[in-house]
Amino acid sequence: MHDARPAIAVFPGVCGMTLPASDGAPTAGARPSLDEVYGRTFGPLHAAARALTGRDEAFCLDVVQDVFVSYIRRSPAWEGEAAMWSWLRTTLVRAAIDRVRRDERARRRESQRPARAPGTGESDPWAVEWLREAVALLPERDRALLGLRYAHGRTLETSGGAEGIGWSSVQGRLTRALRRLRESATEWMS
């Protein structure tokens, strides 16, 4: 069921959240280690994500993870404690907005798909046709292995025996074939 609350509501407490006292505040221009930043900021960031979004635990953990990924990618050097918290708060708000928008886009895409009755075996005719064409573009051996493994339910070992290759080769070929199909599907859907 969809929550009636606004997706993001900025609460005054988030911008003025209580910060833990620091023995090792970053000095001007220094880049603290990820362990140090994580240890000191995870709790306040998680609490701020909960207050900011009103979402569940998993969503807020994802938002906080996005903040730390941003920290790793950008490697910011702060000019003191206030600058660090300012960057973290700004990054948290942006990460939360991005996640909410991503969820809303996914929800809209899902609602635009034609409904199918569960368990009826009905398939989207466009998707079935696309899949046939995409599989036809795969090398012959990969098509045979896909058929043996997924259409006939064979094990990796018996699929490999039918094609004269080992189970580890079958696994590698299937992984690559499925990756190609997945990439092709992503392009087709966008």
pLDDT at 2: 42
Same domain, 146 and 181: yes
The domain spanning residue 170 has which CATH number?
1.10.10.10
Q: Could you read off the pLDDT of 101-131 as tens digits, one per residue?
A: 998 988 888 777 655 544 455 667 877 888 8
**Whole-angstrom distance, CA of residue 153 vs CA of residue 146:** 10
**Statement: the pTM of the whole predicted model exceeds 0.85:** no
**Whole-angstrom distance, CA of residue 111 vs CA of residue 171:** 35
Same domain, 94 and 129: no
Residue/partner pairs of 67-76 with CB below 8 Å, 24 or more apart: 67/91, 67/92, 67/95, 68/34, 68/37, 68/38, 70/95, 71/34, 71/37, 72/34, 75/31, 76/31
Q: Could you read off the pLDDT of 42-100 as tens digits, one per residue?
A: 999 999 999 999 999 999 999 999 999 998 888 778 888 888 899 999 999 999 999 99
Same domain, 86 and 63: yes
Same domain, 19 and 70: yes
- The answer to whether residue 92 is domain-embedded is yes
- The answer to whether residue 69 is domain-embedded is yes
Q: Which structural domain, as residue segments, surrounds residue 140?
A: 125-189
Instruction: Please tell me the total count of domains within the chain.
Output: 2
- The answer to whether residue 5 is domain-embedded is no
- The answer to whether residue 2 is domain-embedded is no
Q: Could you read off the pLDDT of 10-43 as tens digits, one per residue?
A: 333 444 444 444 445 545 556 678 888 889 999 9
